[in-house]
């Protein structure tokens, strides 16, 4: 099994899906000759031509809206939003149109659409190239929200997303595009949308994370393991629909929960996990549920000292784990 980076796994998933199914096509800004600003579609324009790798006008609402139309006709579009920060002009199309189509038509129309968007900070991107947008979308019934944390999952989950008859928002941790490496089969496989995965078993604290934060969560778990704190790390992988069973099983085992995300705290996705645990596993808790999140400021600042202040990382997570272990 070859080792590859996150972005290479994502590219391979699209390449294989386009080869498998001629209805699959890519549309977005700079996805053609340029191969995408992160090179996620590198080489696909040359391989599949301008009809299936479409350089769109610089207008996100229509990237998604045109994708929806093509999906209604039976195509399988993969829409790329260049940065998740730019997704808001398409918010109406995603939330009001793609997500509500099946329900509002009583199942007559479905939207087999994938929207890929790089998200997250720590890359010197400032307010508008660093955002985490998952909470806005995980709130919406009718939409699936997937965030891979490693190349293997990224390839398998993206293939599942392309084959799903429903709209899937696929958020890619951009800081991990070249940092996250791992073995990826060259043959066809899928990772189902829905199940979370316990990536490190432990008995003392459940640590819930996704995307880039999962990488730091594993590092933090390793750091505190030397001090005798055994952390169970759960990679959520899919925020909607969320894997309630795996989350609750883990908390019932450990009795303590820490949720980590880089999106800001208030109304963030961690609140939903905390509420789920409080409602369903209250009697198993030995400590209050804790959240370690980005601070409630309007964005990730550009200047490095301020960016570092914003971003959760392994030492911050380790500190939160120690505090929770001591409770």
Partner 1 sequence: MMLSEQQQVDMFWYMLLARRLDERAWILHRQGKIAFHISGIGQEAAQVGAAFAVRKGEDWVVPYYRDLALMLYLGYTPREFMLSLMGKREEPSSGGRQMPSHWSLRRANVVSHSAPVATQTPHAVGIALAITMRREDKVVLTTIGEGATSQGEWYEAVNWAAIHRLPVIFMVENNHYAISEPIEKQMAVEGAAAKACGLGLEGIAVDGTDALAVYDVVARAVEKARRGEGPTLIEARMYRLTPHSSDDDDRSYRSRDEVEAHKRRDPLLRMRQHLEAQGWLGAERLQALEAEIKALVDAAVNEATQAPYPAPEEAAGPLFCSEVTHA
Cite the active site residues: 129
β-partners of residue 3 are 183
List residues binding partner 1 (CB under 8 A): 25, 51-52, 56-57, 59, 61-62, 64-75, 77, 89, 92-93, 96-97, 100-110, 112, 141-142, 165-166
Residue 256 CB, nearest distance to partner 1 (Å)?
A: 33
Residue 262: CB atoms within 10 Å: 29
Non-local CB neighbours of 285 within 8 Å, separated by 6+ positions: 251, 255, 256, 257, 277, 278
Which residue number, 109 or 128, has a Cβ lying nearer to partner 1? 109
240-261 per-residue burial string, b: 16 or more CB within 10 A, e: under 16: bebbeebbbbbbeebbbbbbbb
Q: How far apart are CA 17 and CA 24, in angstroms?
A: 7
Q: Strands 168-173, 144-146: parallel, antiparallel or unpaired by DSSP?
A: parallel
Residue 227 CB, nearest distance to partner 1 (Å)?
A: 44
Q: How far apart are CA 307 and CA 123, in angstroms?
A: 9
Half-sphere exposure of 209 (CA within 13 A, CB side): 32
Of residues 228, 302, 288, 286, the one with CA closest to residue 259 = 288
Q: How far apart are CA 307 and CA 316, in angstroms?
A: 14
39-64 per-residue burial string, b: 16 or more CB within 10 A, e: under 16: ebbbebbeebeeebbbbbeeebbbbb
């Amino acid at each position: 099994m070859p080792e590859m980076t996150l972005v290479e796994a994502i590219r391979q998933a699209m390449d294989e899906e386009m080869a498998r199914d001629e209805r699959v096509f890519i549309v977005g800004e700079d996805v053609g000759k340029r191969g995408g600003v992160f090179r996620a579609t590198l080489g696909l324009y040359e391989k599949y031509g301008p009809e299936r790798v479409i350089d769109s006008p610089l207008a996100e609402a229509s990237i998604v809206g045109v994708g929806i139309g093509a999906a209604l006709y039976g195509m399988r579009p993969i829409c790329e939003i260049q940065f998740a920060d730019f997704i808001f002009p398409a918010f109406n199309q995603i939330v009001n149109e793609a997500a509500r189509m099946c329900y509002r038509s009583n199942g007559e129309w479905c939207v087999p659409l994938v929207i890929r968007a790089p998200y997250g900070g720590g890359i010197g991107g400032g307010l508008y190239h660093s955002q985490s947008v998952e909470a806005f979308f995980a709130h919406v019934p009718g939409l699936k929200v997937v965030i891979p944390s490693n190349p293997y999952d990224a390839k398998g989950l993206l293939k599942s997303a392309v084959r799903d008859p429903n709209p899937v928002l696929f958020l890619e941790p951009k800081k991990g595009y070249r940092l996250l490496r791992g073995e990826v089969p060259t043959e066809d496989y899928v990772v189902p949308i829905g199940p979370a995965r316990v990536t490190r078993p432990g008995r003392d604290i459940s640590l819930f994370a996704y995307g880039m934060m999962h990488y730091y969560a594993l590092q933090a778990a390793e750091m505190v393991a030397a001090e005798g704190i055994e952390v169970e790390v759960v990679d959520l992988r899919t925020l909607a629909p969320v894997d309630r069973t795996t989350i609750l099983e883990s908390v019932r085992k450990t009795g303590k929960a820490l949720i980590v995300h880089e999106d800001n705290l208030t109304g963030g996705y961690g609140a939903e996990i905390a509420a789920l645990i409080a409602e369903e596993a209250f009697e198993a808790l030995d400590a209050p549920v804790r959240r370690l999140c980005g601070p409630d400021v309007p964005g990730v600042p550009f200047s490095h000292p301020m960016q570092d202040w914003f971003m959760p990382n392994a030492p911050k997570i380790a500190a939160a784990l120690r505090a929770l272990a001591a409770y």
